[in-house]
Amino acid sequence: MSTQDHRKPLRARASGPLKGSIRPPGDKSISHRALMLGALAIGETTVEGLLEGEDVLATAEAMRAFGATVIRDDGGVWHVKGLGVGGLLEPDKVIDYGNAGTGVRLAMGLAGSHGFATTFTGDASLVGRPMGRIFEPLRRMGVQILARSGDRLPATIEGPEVPVPIEYRVPVASAQVKSAVLLAALNFSGTTTVIEPIPTRDHTERMLAAFGAAIETTVADDGVRTIAIDGGADLQAQKIVVPGDPSSAAFPIVAAAIVEGSDVTVENALLNPTRIGLIDTLVEMGADITIDNRRSVGGEEVGDVRVRGSRMKGVAVPPERAPSMIDEYPILSVAAAFAEGETRMEGIGELRVKESDRIAMMVAGLKANGVDVDEGPESIVVRGSARPAGGATVATSLDHRIAMSFLILGLGAANPVTIDDESPIATSFPAFRDMMTGLGARFESVDGD
Ligand code: S3P
């Protein structure tokens, strides 16, 4: 590595049983939305348990750039003084969203209903990700968009003189696309309808309703959801309590499942049905998981997830489950590496356009660590063993979930597993290393690998 290289390699070694309780950080999806709706509401919204990771801090900064007051008090509660629907102000700088795909896509929806130009950009990962899926419906609503290569960041978004409420059938299962359209529609008179053939996480709809938006969801017999929103309603400030992120909880959960003798409780994890596909899958694989203390926090169900180490067996994950665990396939493929037999993950093409091409990254890293794995255009198939070999260094390509997944592999593999850079973990789970070490995980920094 050159002296210019700021990457921080980290190594994970086979660990003894993991024991103890942890509270995962606040849910990333809910945290972004809380700051955004707070910025559009009248009055002061408070947010407890906000995820203070880089992605969400980029949204805090973006809402400040749009004129909202966003501060954190000494007790860790965030306060957002909003500007009212349609009240955002023209930013005097380019909004750099770093690594945050959800943040930028939702914020482009917000900006798209305001009559000034906003320019968005991001890091090397984000500028490579497709944005056409957001531009297409926004353009149909009359929004003007100029973008690099037609569908990449940097992009400049300017709201329409005459907005057009639309009926939009979401062509890919994406909560980000659905949310961008709903957030733009909030400020357009008339009814916009989003049709969702495959349900995705519903935090935007829940939170918009809680803030007082005129939004209604109907579910047809075949499961297709129709979400209608009338623009123009005022939003009222709320007190929000953010539950623990199931997508972050996934890492200690799988770690405890694969390391023999472990007994770990992940407290206060969000159990929204649109987010718990991983737990359902691990249970089908024979993982020893119980959920206690189910309760409601801020309109969402949460619970304490207790996991004990156990031998698992491979399963075929139904493709229709993908949206409820879309961010969990990297760590599921690590669990599969320790399961007896074959685990088939199909219908997961969306993984190729996340923070990295997660199909390619997982397949390459697992192979390098001695795991028997096949790659398809939209699938990963893993044939597990009691103890994968490990021993390799893997690239993380600015992808936090790839980084954490391979560290968890190292906790159970026969030989240490090294990632080339732990820095991306700070985007979603800054306390990952400390929390995992507290449970007994063996991680060590590596100088100049
Ligand atoms: C998210 C939606 C998902 C998910 C992302 C968070 C959200 O993305 O992968 O981490 O908060 O709406 P897609 O909408 O692209 O599936």
Which ligand 1 atom sits closest to the C-alpha of 353? 15
Please give the average per-residue pLDDT across 408-417, as a whole number.
Answer: 98
Residue 244 pLDDT:
98
- Strand ranges, E, within 67-183: 69-72, 78-81, 95-96, 117-121, 144-148, 152-158, 167-169
Ligand 1 atom 5 nearest Cα:
102
Q: Cα angle at 229 between 81 and 144, to 5 degrees?
A: 75
Q: Output the average pLDDT for the chain.
A: 97
Using the mean position of ligand 1's atoms as its centre, give its distance from the Cα of residue 201 in Å. Answer: 8
The distance of Cα 275 from the centroid of its chain, to the nearest Å, equals 10
What are the pocket residues of ligand 1 if the criterion is a CB atom closer than 6 Å to any ligand atom? Answer: 29, 102, 174-176, 179, 201, 326-327, 350
Domain boundaries, the chain: 3-26+243-445, 28-241
- 283-322: per-residue pLDDT in tens? 999 999 999 999 998 789 999 999 999 999 999 999 999 9
Distances (CA, A) of 441 to 81, 335, 376, 432: 41, 16, 33, 11
- Over its C-alpha atoms, the chain yields an Rg (Å, rounded) of 21
Instruction: Pull the structure tokens for residue 297.
Output: 């926090």
The sign of the CA dihedral 431, 436, 440, 442 is negative
Mean per-residue pLDDT, 387-411: 98
Does 140 show up as a binding residue in the annotation? no
**Catalytic status, residue 123:** no
Q: What is the pLDDT of residue 448?
A: 58
Q: How far apart are CA 34 and CA 68, in angstroms?
A: 13
pLDDT over 70, % of the chain: 99
Helices (H), 224-345: 246-258, 277-284, 329-337
Q: Taking Cα atoms as reference points, which of 278, 365, 276, 366 lies closest to residue 317?
A: 278
Structure tokens, 416: 């240490």
Q: What are the DSSP E strand ranges found in 179-277?
A: 191-196, 214-219, 225-230, 239-241, 263-270
Is 354 annotated in some ligand binding site?
A: yes
Distance 303 CA to ligand 1 centre (A): 22
Q: Determine which residue's CA is closest to atom 16 belonging to ligand 1.
A: 174
Atom number, ligand 1, closest to the C-alpha of residue 133 = 15
Give Cα separations from 315 to 166, 254, 342, 375 (angstroms).
Answer: 41, 15, 6, 17
What lies within 8 Å, CB to CB, of 119 at 6+ separation is: 94, 95, 154, 155, 156, 157
Closest protein CA for atom 13 of ligand 1: 174
SS3 state at 343: strand
Instruction: Specify the ligand 1 atom closest to the Cα of 33.
Output: 11
The reply to whether 3-26+243-445 and 28-241 are identical in fold is: yes
What is the total residue count of the chain?
Answer: 449
Nearest-atom number in ligand 1 for the CA of 176 is: 14
First-to-final CA distance of the chain: 7
Does 433 carry a binding-site annotation? Answer: no
* d(CA 102, ligand 1 centre) in Å: 6
The tokens for 71 are: 């501060």
Give pLDDT tens digits for 115-143. 999 999 999 999 999 999 999 999 999 99
Each residue's pLDDT tens digit, 130-176? 999 999 999 999 999 999 999 999 999 999 999 999 999 999 999 99
CA distances from 173 to 180, 197, 351 (A): 13, 8, 12
Is 19 annotated to bind a ligand? Reply is no
Q: Which residues pair with 168 in a beta bridge?
A: 194
Report, at the CATH architecture level, how domain 3-26+243-445 is classified: Alpha-beta prism (3.65)
Mean pLDDT of 337-357: 98
In the numeric block, the tokens 């159970």 are attached to 412
Ligand 1 centre to CA of 129 (Å) is: 13
Residue 217 · residue 209 · CB < 8 Å: no
The two beta strands, 225-230 and 316-317, are unpaired
Check the annotation: does 201 bind a ligand. no
pLDDT score at 297: 85
Smallest Cα–Cα separation from 282: which of 243, 250, 319, 245?
A: 250
Choice from 174, 358, 359, 427 to test ligand 1 binding pocket (greatest atom count within 8 A of CB): 174
Q: For ligand 1, what atom is nearest to the CA of residue 28?
A: 11
Q: Is 367 annotated as a binding residue?
A: no
Tokens (6 digits) for 447: 């100088």
Q: Is pLDDT of 1 > 50?
A: no
Quote the CA–CA distance of 51 and 57 in Å, as a whole number.
8
Residues 268 and 302: beta-carbon distance below 8 Å: yes
What pLDDT is stored for residue 299 in this prediction?
83
**Which pLDDT tens digit goes with each residue over 36-68?**
999 999 999 999 999 999 999 999 999 999 999
At residue 2, the pLDDT reads 45
The total of other beta-carbon atoms located within 10 Å of residue 76's CB is 11
pLDDT of res. 298: 78
Q: How far is the CA of 164 from the centre of ligand 1 (A)?
A: 25
399-427 average pLDDT score: 98
**Residue 80: count of CB within 10 angstroms of its CB:** 29
169 in a labelled binding site:
no
The pair of structure tokens assigned to 267 is 């407290």
Find the catalytic residue in 55, 96, 245, 327: 327
**How close is the Cα of 326 to the center of ligand 1, in Å?**
8
CATH architecture of 28-241: Alpha-beta prism (3.65)
| CA-closest residue to ligand 1 atom 11 | 29
One-letter identity of residue 126: L
What confidence tens digit (pLDDT) does each residue in 237-289 have? 999 999 999 999 999 999 999 999 999 999 999 999 999 999 999 999 999 99
176, 208, 355: which to mutate for ligand 1, most atoms within 8 A of CB?
176
**Ligand 1 mean position, distance from CA 350 (Å):** 10
